Every structure is written in structure tokens, then in C-alpha cells.
Amino acid sequence: MTIRLDEPALDRLFRTARTRNGWTERVVTEDQLRELYDLLKFGPTSANCCPARFVWVRSAEGKEKLAAHAAPGNAQKILAAPVTVIIGHDLEFGQQMPTLFPARWEQFFSDPTSRKPPPFAMGPFREHP
């Protein structure tokens, strides 16, 4: 990759980015969520496996259910936010590899129904020195 992000972009993404603890009254539109998902779904993953699954919670009822299972410090944030996303890791994502990576899926998944294909072993819980 030869194109470098400029300094303001690096600041916004990494150097000055912080967890938000409050929101404005602005509505998050369906188009904005789709635009966000369209960026997220192309995040780098081993062999294009895309194991992340997203559940967007917008309704008051849904947020109440989610808040009931959250840590006490997070429950009010969930209720106040215009939308909350639950990001899960699909343990059965290997079954999708013939579609996601048709050219060489067999190289990574000798058994597409395996619960722990190689990219899962290289996934988010990888130890770093």
C-alpha cells in the first residue's frame, strides 16, 4: 500500500479517538448504518472469512432488553444511544467459505463444516509478543 493517510486522518482514527460516553439528539439514519456496515464488512480478515456478525438495536424495546444484560455502567448508555450494535463472532463461518473465497477456500478449510478452521485459530484471540 503506497498511499498514506494524512495527519488529520491519523489523528481522528488513532491519536485523538476516544470512547464516547454521550450522544446528541441526532437520529442515525438507515442510510448511515448501511454506509457504516459497507465499510465494516470489508475489514481485513484471514482469507476473507468475515466471521463478524452485526445486530443493530434501534428500538426502545430492543435497547431495554440489551441494557438488562449489560454491565450497570453501560445500561444507561445503551438506553440513551440512538443505536447500539452487537458484534458477534460466528463460530460456524467456515461453512460460508466456498462462497466468500471460492478460488482457494479448500486451501484453508479442508472441512467447510469445521468449527475451528485455520483462520479462526489466527483470529481475535491471537497472542502478541
pLDDT tens, residue by residue, 108-126: 666 555 545 554 554 554 4
pLDDT value at position 122? 47
Does a structural domain hold residue 126?
no
Has residue 58 been placed in a domain?
A: yes
CB contact set of 37 (below 8 Å; sequence gap of 6+) = 54
pLDDT tens digit sequence for 33-46: 999 999 888 777 77
The mean predicted confidence, pLDDT, of the chain is 81
Residue 52 lies inside a defined structural domain of this protein:
yes
Rounded to two decimals, the pTM is 0.69
- The whole-number pLDDT of residue 15 equals 95
Residue 9 located in a structural domain: no
pLDDT at 45: 73
- 73-87 residue pLDDT tens: 999 999 999 999 999
Q: How far is CA 74 from the centre of its chain?
A: 19
- Residue 52 belongs to what domain range? 28-121
Residue percentage of the chain with pLDDT more than 70: 80
Residue 17 lies in a domain: no
**Contacts of residue 114, Cβ cutoff 8 Å, sequence gap at least 6:** 94
* Residue 22: inside a domain: no
The CATH number of the domain where 53 resides is what? 3.40.109.10
More confident of the two residues 87 and 101:
87
Model pLDDT, residue 127: 45
Residue 62, domain member (yes or no): yes
Q: How many Cβ atoms sit within 10 Å of the Cβ of residue 117?
A: 24
Domain count across the chain:
1
SS3 content of the chain, % helix, strand, coil (to 5): 45, 10, 45
In percent, how much of the chain has pLDDT > 90?
Answer: 44
